[in-house]
Amino acid sequence: MSKQAFVAEDLFRMRFVGHPVLAPSGQEFLFVQTHIDEEENGYQATIEKFTGQAVVSFTRREGKGNVRDSAPAWSPDGKQIAFLSNRSGKNQVWLDGKSEPLTDLPQGVSSFVWAPDGKGLYLVAKEVTAEPQFRKGATVRRITKLRYKANGTGYLDGYPTQLWYLDLASKDVQRLTSGDYNCSQPAVSPCGRYLAFVSNRAEDQLKTLNDIWLLDLKTKQLRNLTGGLGSSGSPRWLPDGQHLVYVGHQKGIYPGGYPELRQIDLASGENINLMPNFPNYLDNSIGGDTRFDNGNTGPKPTADGQQIYFVATVGGSSYLFCLDYTTGAVSKVFGEGQMVITSFDVQAGQLVVNVATPSTPGDLWWGPLGGELKQITSLNRELFQDKYIGWPEVVHFTHPDGAQLEGWLIKPLGYVEGDTYPLVMEIHGGPHTTFGNAFFHEWQMLAGHGFAVLYTNPRGSLGYGEEFARSVVGDWCGIDAEDLQFMAEEAAKLPWVDKARIGVTGGSQGGYFTNWLISHTNMFAAAVTQRSMSNLYSKYGVADNGWNGDRYGMGGRDLWDDEDFIMERSPMRYARNVKTPTLIIHSDQDYRCPLEQGEQWYVALKRLGVTVEMLLFHGENHELSRSGRPANRIVRLEGILDWFQRYLG
């Protein structure tokens, strides 16, 4: 039977798994299953339970609306299950078997953890404080902070995120932290007396680093454990209650820097790197456009503290690793070849992992640590079995300066040796992210409609060592853009690639590179630039990360001292060179790469007589391609395909 091409509307038929959590026994686990509701133009998520024999529903959809259940968590004794749900409006904590939520906080609950004795929950939620009062009917906001908006949130309401304790018996909720600071990622000590959490409590708003803090729940004393020396997050207790491990470093503001697995001795304050020779990037940095998984990627100490498990990115794949706490030896526990582990859990000698590959968005595997795992879910098997899924072929490039670069090629549906085909080069954002061995609906759709797809990891990408990642700091659209053009030119030499029909597309930093490439070479016959950057000088002042992330990425160069260099690395300066037919895709609530970046590029190209159109999505933000309204995601995919069919077909 001949295979069919993926189409944009197949998104409605896909199912996604994420956030697997093992019971204390290790013999059962919970996970979140997400699907897209075409009628509601939104997302539905339920919690499912694997009993050791079969998957059964733990929560069910009730009525209409975009109800999403998430973040399931077993009580320490395994007898109760708490989870988050927006079924009553905002996200609140629910307990299994209850018809009403445990919490009713005005701004909802963003996350929670169980107390070690199972008698309560520690919550992360906003503290509603008094708002400034203006004249009745006025629509005004007083802004006093440097960071006043955030992509996906909008203009910040000014309410600080605090930590709270919910007593399950009395239902009383007690606020534990105070002040105009945000707190997150609580971790309770085994004895229940101490609460570690993440917060930036610096008075200087230009200081953006988070620290690990320790709250003594008995004396209420606060202690900064990391001292603002570098990025810090994901605190986890070792069972002795005297040591914390976390992910971070002590390198200050350090774009592209690799986080380390570090340990804090609470008695002495000593802070050490537990794996000084580990070369890989901690966490999974590989993106995808069909993923709904915010589960654990580590660190996860075992109950006896002898092992610490974590996910790390190796080139275009990510695998599960283990640190032997006694010997310091690090070993790979699970993963081989072209795959991406997006989350995992370990309990009582059992392991569950969510494994994505180029041919599946992700499925759950379960079994004994060190033994053979069994595939538990295969939610997309029926849909995918009749679809053309081009398996990416790994391609290695040697840059003229000797740098080793990695990419992948997907051949089109119906490929015949001796024929030639149009090719689309896809460019990732970041710049400190990674393309790799994950399923991309967009790429497979293009391949199914006759386009070869090339995707690569230029310098600046994660997964190839810290030096590789940091080589672009202060040199955006320098060596990274050279890498991209070089790899596109090398691919154009392949006998089956039609070098007159090569297109380019990318989003965010990938859109920035797209704009740069079409203003520096005419090798591309069509371009789709998405949520892009065109003028770094103006972006410094309008993006939620412009004054910090972009400035640090540009090596600290600032508006008043380095105006010429900032404009030199802005595609806008070279707009007069563009001849490539260009489609601009942007959203009006994108605060990461604000709409004005796309508008500037559109107006410039239009004035200069370039063939250009814009798809402007209302009510969407920077995450349109990954979590936007489904109808808009479909229109976006169809727009990309249509543009390349028009100019490369």
The mean pLDDT of 100-113, rounded to a whole number, is 96
Query: What is the rounded distance in angstroms from the CA atom of residue 590 to the CA atom of residue 154?
Result: 9
Across the chain, which distance is largest between two alpha carbons, in Å? Answer: 76
Contact 336, 327 (CB under 8 A): no
Residue 76, preceding peptide bond in cis (omega within 30° of 0): no
pLDDT value of residue 63 = 65
Residue 138, CB half-sphere, CA atoms under 13 Å: how many? 8
Per residue in 296-331, pLDDT (tens digit) is 999 999 999 999 999 999 999 999 999 999 999 999
Contact 93, 84 (CB under 8 A): yes
Question: 528 forms bridges with which residues in the sheet?
Answer: 505, 583
Per residue in 393-441, pLDDT (tens digit) is 999 999 999 999 999 999 999 999 999 999 999 999 999 999 999 999 9
Phi, psi (deg, nearest 5) at residue 402: 100, -10
Q: Which of 212, 203, 216 is nearest to 234 (CA)?
A: 212
Q: Which of 97, 507, 514 is nearest to 289 (CA)?
A: 507
Per residue in 238-255, pLDDT (tens digit) is 999 999 999 999 999 999
Contact 639, 609 (CB under 8 A): no
Cα distance between the two ends of the chain: 26
Where residue 546 falls among pLDDT bands split at 50, 70, 90? very high
Question: Structural domain boundaries of the chain?
Answer: 388-648
Q: Which of 70, 508, 519, 587 is catalytic?
A: 508
Per residue in 467-486, pLDDT (tens digit) is 999 999 999 999 999 999 99
Query: What is the rounded distance in angstroms from the CA atom of residue 418 to the CA atom of residue 416?
Result: 6
Active site residue 449: no
Share of the chain above pLDDT 70, in %: 100
Where residue 130 falls among pLDDT bands split at 50, 70, 90? confident
Residue 337, CB half-sphere, CA atoms under 13 Å: how many? 7
**Mean pLDDT, rounded, of the chain:** 96
What are the residue ranges of helices labelled H in 502-562? 509-518, 536-542, 551-553
Q: Which helix (H) or strand (E) holds 583?
A: strand 582-587
> Which tokens sit at 571?
């595609």
Q: Which of 199, 318, 622, 625 is catalytic?
A: 622
Contact 202, 216 (CB under 8 A): no
Query: What is the rounded distance in angstroms from the CA atom of residue 452 to the CA atom of residue 409?
Result: 7
Q: Exposed (0-12), middle (13-18) or buried (19+): which is 621, by Cβ within 10 Å?
A: buried
Q: How far, in whole angstroms, is CA 14 from its chain's centroid?
A: 20
**Among the listed ranges 61-75, 222-236, 536-550, 624-638, which one has the minimum average pLDDT value?**
61-75
pLDDT value of residue 98 = 80
Q: Which of 252, 254, 250, 278 is nearest to 264 (CA)?
A: 250
The mean pLDDT of 62-88, rounded to a whole number, is 92
Residue 552, CB half-sphere, CA atoms under 13 Å: how many? 17
pLDDT value of residue 129 = 83
The conformation of residue 537, written as its DSSP 8-state character, comes to H
CATH architecture of structural domain 388-648? 3-Layer(aba) Sandwich (3.40)
User: 441-448 and 630-648 helices cross at what angle (nearest 10)?
Assistant: 40
Where residue 61 falls among pLDDT bands split at 50, 70, 90? confident
276 sits in the region (left: phi over 0; alpha: psi -120 to 50; else beta) called: alpha
Other C-beta atoms closer than 10 Å to the C-beta of 339 total 22
Contact 316, 406 (CB under 8 A): yes
Q: Which helix (H) or strand (E) holds 457?
A: strand 452-457
The mean pLDDT of 355-375, rounded to a whole number, is 97
Residue 521, CB half-sphere, CA atoms under 13 Å: how many? 18
Question: 224 forms bridges with which residues in the sheet?
Answer: 213
| Residue carrying structure tokens 């490929």 | 415
Query: What is the rounded distance in angstroms from the CA atom of residue 196 to the CA atom of residue 186?
Result: 6
Contact 311, 323 (CB under 8 A): no
> Which tokens sit at 281?
């990037």
Query: What is the rounded distance in angstroms from the CA atom of residue 18 to the CA atom of residue 3?
Result: 28
pLDDT value of residue 99 = 82
Per residue in 158-168, pLDDT (tens digit) is 899 999 999 99
Per residue in 241-290, pLDDT (tens digit) is 999 999 999 999 999 999 999 999 999 999 999 999 999 999 999 999 99
Per residue in 24-40, pLDDT (tens digit) is 999 999 999 999 999 99
Where residue 1 falls among pLDDT bands split at 50, 70, 90? low
Active site residue 35: no
Q: Which of 281, 218, 275 is nearest to 245 (CA)?
A: 275
